Chain A
Amino acid sequence: MGTLVQSVDWIAIAPPVIAAALALIVLVADLFVSEARKPLLGWLTVGGLVLAGLSLIPLLDHDRSTFCLTTAGGDCSYVADHFTLVIQLLVIGGALLTALLSIHIMDELPAGEYWFLLLSSASGAALLPASRDLATLIIALEVASLPAFALVGIKRGDRLSSEAALKFFLSSVAATAVTLLGVSFLYAATGTLHLTALAHGLTGVDPQLATLAKAGAALTIVGFAFKLAVAPFHFWVPDTYTGAPLPIAAYLSVVGKAAGFSGLILITVVALKPYADVWGPAVAVLAALTMTVGNAAALRQRPDASRSAVRLLAWSSIGQAGYLLVPVAAAAYAGTDEIGTTIAYALMYGAVNLGAFAVVALVARSAPDNRLTDYRGLYARRPLAALSMAFFLLCLAGLPPGIIGLFAKVAVFSSAVHAGLGWLAVIMALNVVVALVYYLRWTALLFAKPEGAEAPAPAVTLPQPSAGGGPPPDFAGSTPTGEARGRTSASLRSPTSLTAAIALSAVLGIALSGAPQLVLRFASGGLL
């Protein structure tokens, strides 16, 4: 028996460590930076996240693992394989775009705390896909979640924000408790926490403990299903997204989901591999349920309700989570390689969903109520933002010109058909059609005639609403829009950070549409 001291491969763990160290630096720096220089903290965060992203590059050439047991078996707690790196890229990229989305609203929020919490959460989410034992997995999940509660409730004095935080907190804590119970059952049944050892142990589990092991498996999965907002554990999502600051809703919809499903993948595909016949059908049913519930609810959103834009994106993200689960279910039937499709889909979804949130943030500046009707005629006011938004929405819907969205869906369909899950593929097909209705309604709204120009008379003869002028005379019934107009003129220039976020997402989406292989190569497997 050799030494008990485990060696640490610092390069392998660099991505989460950089994020965590940066979080502390920002928190401390906040105490010493004068009020006028606070915006620097934001750009420091952006720079640090870029650095964390760059630290992924040295890890590309071969798989690394660290925190390994020095005893026989040599199971490792931290593995930087391709699966880890891709999810870390998604998490760090998502956090980066979130940071860009946040910079312009920092005068309303406490900067130091905000950046600290965001970076801590990102660090946890980056640690999660690398964890290969249940304890690390739970810790990573909590590091990712706990700061997120605070972030959701960070708008001081905002009733909705606190309510959202409370809802999120309670459901999340319940989920964690359930997961922990499941983990303890699994540990009791197999005597190990390492995922690969667990899979090995479950094949030869004592018949008397089999029920315990199965119950443990189910409970652990349920806990992660909460995090991923899988139906029927999705009810907290719409309220939390609408109550949270906009960038945090974006963050939760992408990074939160990435953390949730990478944990779910590790648990199901690696640790519970012997029980594939049990969780396979269960995940398939959950996937079908999730996409149906999400899309049906998104369809029923009233466009003129307050905050309907974010609410719609919240429900649509539930629908999208359903698609993300399909390849996980397929992995139970057709082998581990299928989960690559989930990753490919998540990368597409991450880029375009953050882009959509960026445009929502832009529109929210002139119309804080954020109703879908505020998007009417966006093309006339901000043609580029409207075109990008249309592109993002069509990517989410999976129709050309959103080619990458289309191919990501094709890949998901393909994995379902490949696994013989024909019924799931058909349900997903119906869902894609249902989802198109609301995405298309929104897209059509972008190019609709602005309010007040409803009359079929040619637009040129109408008096152009001057930038500084008050509401046009025929606006008697729609004062909010009139007010919004006034404010538009005050803040017509969009902030650089927001423009950068939209441009980055749009460029990513367009580049991927031209060369879908960039993300779809993960779909051909070889990740885990």
Chain B
Amino acid sequence: MNDTVLQYLLAAVVVLPLLGAVGALLPPPPGLRGKSPDQAVLRHGVTVSGVVLALSIALAAGFDHDHPAKMQASTDISWIPALGIRIHLGIDGISLPLLVLTALLTFLCAVYSYFKMPAGPSPKAFVALILVLESGTLATFAVLDLILFFLAFELVLIPMYFLIARWGGEGREKSALRFILYTLLGSVVMLLGLLLIGIKAGTFDMVALATDNGSHLSHTTQLIAALAIGLGLAVKAPMWPLHSWLPDAHTSAPTVGSVLLAGVLLKMGTYGFVRILLPITPEATRTYAPYLAAFAVIGIIYGSLACLALARQGTGGDLKRLIAYSSVGHMGFVLLGIATLTPTGVNGALFANIAHGLITGLLFFLVGSLKDRYGSTDLDRLAGQTGAALYGRAPRLGGLLAFGAVASLGLPGLAGFWGEMLAMFGAFKPAVGLHRGAYLTFTAIAAFGTLLTAAYLLVVVRRVCMGERSTAEATEPVLADVQTYEFAAWTPLVALTVIAGLWPALLLGLTDPAVRTLLGGS
């Protein structure tokens, strides 16, 4: 496929969800009315996100896999000359997988909600918000202009706020406000850093800035800008100790909200680290890398310990909250990989990004369906004295949950393994100029973290999947096993988890050349 077609494909992938969102608010045209207005609009959501997914797969197919380091499908149009802002779109091996992941997860969420609309106001607004969210996320991964990146970063805030505040569970309005305030505070600080870079370097173009490799920026400028940008991205990622919005947001969000929040929104933060900080402010990144790594491993340990505490019997831990905390740990591995500043580590980080999107997306789907069946995600209420015995009562659901858990703990052969392994491998031998001893310590702590991760996930599997079935069958409500639509929504995630685990070269082949270019050919 030639580049012009790719160009239009990429632009369509970003713009189509926005148009779809407007379309969702309008009354459906005759012939597409469906059984009821609600059904029609939900179907509209599935159609639009399906088309976007198809287009993004076409984009991936047309992508020149021999030159993943090169920006492809580039569009570069002047938009606001007064501020030097250009509509610059393009994808390379780093952004392409994230783009496809976003399109896939949104489509699966749309399919899931077609059959299982979360309780709340009309689905019209729900579909529109999901599509705006999709557009913002896709744009974040596709734009190559710093201010446009900021715009895309902000575009997801309002939709996510309303998804949580309107369709969420207990304490939703408070959690939603907390989510948006934390993230906005982070992103306005990030904006200041972006502006500083733009004003000092004279351009907001990420490609030009990455080519310069920070040579036009003084050391002080780099330090200030990288700190400001890093703070904003760290809130989004989230990095310990800036994560405190995440557990509440996840606990209150509806299932699809959680899936998208963990699956793609968090990736915007780590993607920013790789796309902006590594190439544009290399000197500052080198200065901050050990601190980032330290915070990352604290996050790993902190997340795992929080999960262990939640998984214990009698603490009334919430399963959704537990998975949210596990995200803090997993994103810790991603940040550790980035902080090594080596191709190995950064590749690991990007791999772990995708893996986390697939696996945690799946886990949130599973927990959501558990909530639908039990009416609660309180682990103690689920498990009772001996365990929820999901294997016995709903064997397929139990099996999937166990699969998700072992994938999440990084079992070799599944997607979760490679990212964390490579991140630790990178930390074992960090880039030249970074203190090896410190990084060895970080590696050791992170390795200990994997043990803790395994511990809590196995506890969860034991308490939810195993256990004695109560002898009096009649007292136990019948539990529906996995429904067809649930299979439809989950199978792609399971399949990709296995494929990525068995054939990591599929992803690493894309990211590696691009990462090497970003790190300045080292």
Contact = CB atoms under 8 A, between A and B. Distances in A.
Contact of A429 (B83, B191, B198): B191
A425 B162 CA distance: 28
Contacts of B185: 429-430, 433
Given A394-B158, A433-B184, A456-B119, A521 B192 contact: no
Q: Which of B119, B161, B181, B192 has the most CB of A within 10 A?
A: B192
Contacts of A365: none
A447 interface: yes
Interface string A342-382: 00100000000000000000000000000000000000000
A524 B192 contact: no
Given A400-B158, A437-B181, A440-B161, A406 B151 contact: yes
Nearest to B166: A447
Interface string A307-341: 00000000000000000000000000000000000
Contacts of B177: 437, 440
A521 B82 contact: yes
A454 to B, nearest CB: 13
Given A414-B199, A417-B196, A436 B155 contact: no
A429 B189 contact: yes
A174 interface: no
B165 interface: yes
B192 A436 contact: no
Nearest to B157: A399
A213 interface: no
A425 B80 contact: no
Given A410-B83, A440-B177, A399 B195 contact: no
A440 B160 CA distance: 13
A449 B180 CA distance: 21
Interface in B145-187: 147, 150-151, 154-155, 157-158, 161-162, 165-166, 173, 177, 180-181, 184-185
Contacts of B121: 447, 449, 459
Q: Considering residues B80, B150, B191, which has the most beta carbons from chain A within 10 angstroms of its beta carbon?
A: B80
A406 B151 CA distance: 8
Given A410-B147, A447-B121, A426 B181 contact: no
B81 A429 contact: no
Interface in A235-261: none
B173 A444 contact: yes
B503 interface: no
Most chain B CB within 10 A, of A417, A430, A459, is at A417
B482 interface: no
Contacts of A401: 132, 155, 158
A517 B195 contact: no
A130 interface: no
B172 to A, nearest CB: 11
Contacts of A521: 81-82
Interface string B74-93: 00000111110100000000
Contacts of A38: none
Contacts of A413: 188, 191-192, 195
A400 B173 contact: no
B136 interface: yes
Contact of A407 (B83, B132, B224): B83
Q: Give the one of A401, A410, A418, A449 with max B CB within 10 A.
A: A410
Contacts of B165: 444
Given A394-B158, A418-B199, A425-B192, A403 B151 contact: yes
Contact of B125 (A400, A403, A447): A447
A413 B125 CA distance: 33
Given A400-B136, A429-B192, A520 B154 contact: no
Interface residues on B, range: 35 or more
Nearest to A449: B121
Contacts of B158: 394, 399-401
Nearest to A516: B80
A411 interface: yes
Chain B interface, DSSP helix/strand/loop, else mixed: helix
A120 to B, nearest CB: 35
A430 B189 CA distance: 9
B80 A417 contact: no
Given A414-B195, A417-B192, A517 B81 contact: yes
Nearest to A394: B158
Contacts of A449: 121
B83 A414 contact: yes
Given A403-B151, A426-B192, A524 B180 contact: no
A403 B185 CA distance: 18
A523 B158 CA distance: 27
A432 interface: yes
B184 A523 contact: no
A524 B184 contact: no
B166 A399 contact: no
B95 to A, nearest CB: 20
A524 B80 CA distance: 10
A399 B85 CA distance: 17
Which of B121, B154, B177, B188 is packed against the most chain A CB atoms within 10 Å? B188
Contacts of A456: 119
Interface in A428-459: 429-430, 432-433, 436-437, 440, 444, 447, 449, 456, 459
A399 B184 contact: yes
Interface in B9-55: none
Contacts of A425: 192
A492 B185 CA distance: 41
Contacts of B119: 456
A456 B172 CA distance: 14
A459 to B, nearest CB: 8
A433 B191 CA distance: 13
A364 to B, nearest CB: 26
Nearest to B191: A413
A400 B151 contact: yes
Contact of B188 (A411, A422, A432, A440): A432
Contacts of B157: 399-400
A436 B185 CA distance: 10
Given A399-B184, A432-B184, A417 B81 contact: no
B199 A524 contact: no
Contacts of A437: 177, 181
A411 B196 contact: no
A88 B188 CA distance: 32
B400 to A, nearest CB: 30
A406 B192 contact: no
A440 B180 contact: yes
A406 B147 CA distance: 10
Nearest to A517: B80
B83 A520 contact: yes
A403 to B, nearest CB: 7
Nearest to B185: A433
A282 to B, nearest CB: 23
Nearest to B25: A387
A329 B154 CA distance: 27
Contact of A417 (B79, B132, B150, B199): B199
A344 B192 CA distance: 19
A417 B196 CA distance: 6
Given A406-B154, A407-B80, A433-B185, 8 more contacts: A413-B192, A417-B199, A437-B177, A444-B173, A447-B162, A447-B166, A520-B80, A524-B81
7 contacts: A410-B150, A417-B199, A429-B189, A436-B181, A440-B177, A440-B180, A447-B166
- Considering the complex of A and B, which 4 residue pairs feature the smallest CB-CB distances, nearest first? A429-B188, A520-B82, A524-B82, A400-B155
